[in-house]
Amino acid sequence: MTITEKILCKHTDLEEVHPGMLINAKVDIALGNDITAPIAINEFRKAGGTRVFDRDKVVLVPDHFTPNKDIDSAQQCKVVREFAQEQGLTHYYEVGEAGIEHALLPEQGIVLPGDLVIGADSHTCTYGALGAFATGVGSTDLAAAMLTGEVWFRVPETIKIVLYGRMQKWVSGKDIILYIIGRIGVDGALYKAMEFIGEAVGHLGMADRLTIANMVIEAGAKNGIFIPDAITEAYVRERAKRSYTNFTSDSDALYADMIDIDVSTIEPQVAFPHIPSNVRGISQAGNVKIDQVLIGSCTNGRIEDLRVAAGILRGRKVAPYVRLIIMPATQEIYKMALREGLMEIFIDARGVISPPSCGACLGGHMGVLADGERAVSTTNRNFVGRMGHPGSEVYLASPAVAAASAVLGRVAGPGELPGIGG
């Protein structure tokens, strides 16, 4: 079996599973946020629920419209908060201690290798970076899981993606996953697991792996997953508060497809509007003027991302009439950036710093685009109207490209800045 099949099997009473099988599986973590959890809570009550199946395994993180942007969002968060209080949930995170859910859960050791995680948010697949099976579900599925501790799946086929070679300067996990999506398309891995292996994986830190796993859903995948190694263990060991199991794929496991990628041939990538697969190398970007840059989100709001951006912005200013928004993904990341002096660099560059929030990514608040405006964003989606007005445009890129673009006022790579090597 593949690692995905083994984890699913472990959470059933079966001895083995195969692609196409319908299974009922026990969940380790059931996650909701301030948009999706209120619907799940309502369905939970309609089904007769009075107590969640396990108060340690239901996790609620208000992160999309928080701090509350209006009365409606305040009401949504109130529903989540009161349910968490009523149920005595161990893992409820209020604004001052929280952050973006998919950065928070790995950081806090809530998700661990070998776990089966569902979340009423499509980017729940992020946790595959830790060697967990993690996937997004609808709010009604979340309600069922909160009530019973189980959810049903069709076991997915797996695509093996072999990464080899050494990355060029300024190339990151974001560039690798954009390149892959550009190559296979937004439905190239439809309802399949994307398993990442190969020598190049050993050169990817946990932040890069989390970014790659985060965006597999943009290729239609059910989940993305990395086999745990020494890098995983170093990250997890200091955070885990319970036991966990590292799984690997069998040497004779069957795969639906195998894709070899030489990462040394990849330059910084940009996904042009209005689909994540509309990818070009930075050398082919052309002269695209921009109005806003966002560095943050569950895709690229980690401390490693902020360090890269600060290294490029140090001693430089954001171009006239361009807005730069920095959004640390969690409070802990915010504190680290403060201690390291990154915030002063951002402010000196004429950037503005937001509290942790998903708001700008989905066009909710803290960075909404007007008609005709263009943004370079380190987020994961660039559909029509994703970050605001339907007439706006979003260009997806890494923190390095985003920072360079903020300085030059157009889509640009770091190598175009004086004093920075390409």
Which secondary-structure segment (H or E) carries 270? strand 269-271
Is the CB of residue 313 less than 8 Å from the CB of residue 407?
yes
AA identity, residue 14 = L
Q: What pLDDT, on the 0 to 100 scale, is given for residue 188?
A: 93
pLDDT, residue 86, reads 96
CA dist., res. 67 & res. 74, Å (int) = 9
pLDDT surpasses 70 at 421? no
Mean pLDDT of 269-283: 96
Question: What's the confidence (pLDDT) of residue 98?
Answer: 81
Task: Return the exposure string of 201-237: e unless at least 16 CB atoms fall within 10 Å of the residue's CB, then b.
Answer: beebebbbbbbbbbbbbbbbbbbbbbbbeebbeebbe
How far is residue 249 CA from its own chain's centroid? 24
CA distance 176 to 208: 9
pLDDT value, residue 418: 85
Give the CATH fold of the 270-416 domain.
Aconitase; domain 3 (3.30.499)
Domain ranges of the chain: 3-262, 270-416
pLDDT digit string, tens, across residues 215-253: 999 999 999 999 999 999 999 999 999 999 999 999 999
> Tell me, what's the pLDDT at 359?
85
46 Cβ contact partners less than 8 Å away, ≥ 6 residues apart: none
Question: For 318-337, what is each residue's pLDDT tens digit?
Answer: 999 999 999 999 999 999 99
Indicate whether 150 pLDDT > 70. Answer: yes
For the segment 364-383, the average pLDDT, to the nearest whole number, is 95
Distance CA 283, CA 149 (A): 49
Q: Which fold has domain 3-262?
A: Aconitase; domain 3 (3.30.499)
**The two domains 3-262 and 270-416 share their CATH topology (first three levels equal):** yes
Instruction: Indicate the angle between helix axes 71-87 and 37-46, nearest 10 degrees.
Output: 50
Pairwise CA distance, residues 422 & 408, whole Å: 15
The whole-angstrom separation of Cα 147 and Cα 144 is 5
Beta pairing, strands 150-154 & 22-26 = antiparallel
CA 414 to chain centre: 23
Residue type (1 letter), 88: G
- Chain mean pLDDT for the chain: 96
Return the pLDDT at 201.
97
* pLDDT tens-digit readout, 116-132: 999 999 999 999 999 99
Q: Is the pLDDT score of 422 beyond 80? A: no
Main-chain phi, psi angles of 194, to 5 degrees: -110, 110
Compute the half-sphere exposure of residue 75: CA atoms within 13 Å on the CB side of its CA. 4
CB atoms within 10 A of CB 383: 13
